[in-house]
Amino acid sequence: MVFFEPHGVEEQESFQRVTLTNFSFPLHFHRAYELIIVHEGQVRVTIDHKEYLLQQNEAAFIFNNQMHEFTTVGHSAITIIIFSPELIGRFFMDYKGFTPVNNTFSLSPDVLLPSRGSVYRQKSFLYGICSTLEENTDFKPVQYSAKTKILHQMLLYVDTNYAAECTLKAVAEHLQYDYPYLSKLFAHMAGMTFTEYLNYYRISRACYLLKSSQQPIGEIAADCGYSSLRSFNRNFQAFVRDSPRRFRELSSRQV
């Protein structure tokens, strides 16, 4: 299962920083660069099928479109910084088409992390990270296969069209590939059928809206691509093991 996240495709340069405790996130990729910095505990990070165990004061620099996921090991406190490649344009151009042999490195415990304030302070910090990475590893040409590129295109199509009628037939017409070929490729590489992934994506979006908004459940179902509330409730129950209403109630108690 792979998620495409729309980080790094904004019209303007972006810089996002968040601190998380005991947090895990499934396999995904995006155009933006990402830093995972461990302050406490341990985090297991997998990048392009290579596994790292990050300890306190260690970090991972994930390049754009690298498949990655991370899982907390026991307790952990981390900072994640996701930023547009354009913020470090010179580095981006110098290493476009390359990825690190080793994505991880150590950081000084007293390093100051920039906020969303001055773009110059952000650039200064990020270029310092680039220098540290460059000093600690070699780089290799990107080796995405043709099949991986097709998968990326399919996931991007879902990200753009999940709220409307989104079918594998429409994807095949859009990408100009045979339907049976895309069906087999997706199932092999994502570990589920296209329809299963689409429903998972839609329900994940619905969970976010149920927790972060007061929209009626019927509106959320429609916004997530379900024309039938009954179908939405059935799929939600299958993936979340709870009803949308109870999920919202339990989420509100945890705030």
One domain for residues 99 and 172: no
**Residue 214: which of 184, 238, 248, 237 has the closest Cα?**
248
Tokens of 185: 């490729």
For residue 12, pLDDT beyond 90: no
Last residue of a domain, one of 115, 141, 167: 141
- What is the residue range of 104's domain? 3-141
Predicted local confidence at residue 2, as pLDDT: 64
Residues 16 and 96 in one domain: yes
> Between 194-212 and 244-254, two packed helices, what is the crossing angle to 10 degrees?
50
- 161 and 191 fall within a common domain: yes
N-to-C CA span, the chain:
29
pLDDT band of 140, cuts 50, 70, 90? very high
Structural domains counted in the chain = 2
Same domain membership, residue 163 and residue 208? yes
Q: Identify the pLDDT of residue 159.
A: 83
Q: How confident is the model at residue 3 (pLDDT cuts 50, 70, 90)?
A: low
Whether pLDDT at 255 is above 60: no
User: Which of 108, 141, 174 is the endpoint of a domain?
Assistant: 141
Residue 141 predicted with pLDDT over 70: yes
Report the pLDDT value the prediction gives residue 165, as an integer from 0 to 100: 87
pLDDT at position 247 over 70: yes
Label residue 197 exposed, middle or buried (CB < 10 Å: 0-12, 13-18, 19+). buried
| Integer Cα distance of 203 and 233 in angstroms | 10
pLDDT tens per residue across span 185-242: 998 877 789 998 899 889 888 888 888 889 999 999 999 999 999 999 999 998 888 8
Which is higher by pLDDT, 49 or 90?
90
Domain boundary residue, one of 126, 141, 156: 141
**pTM, to two decimals:** 0.70
Q: In 3-state terms, what secondary structure has residue 24?
A: coil
Query: Do residues 194 and 71 both lie within one domain?
Result: no
Question: Are 131 and 15 found together in one domain?
Answer: yes
Task: Read off the pLDDT of each residue in 172-178 and give the average, rounded to a whole number.
Answer: 96
Give the CATH number of the domain where residue 243 resides: 1.10.10.60
More confident of the two residues 130 and 204 = 130
On whether both 122 and 51 belong to a single domain, the answer is yes
137 and 71 part of one domain: yes
Cα–chain center distance at 22: 17
**Cβ neighbours around 190 below 10 Å, total:** 19
Same domain for 9 and 99, yes or no, is yes
In this prediction, residue 218 carries a pLDDT of: 96
Same-domain check for residues 131 and 180: no
Mean pLDDT of the 66-80 span: 92
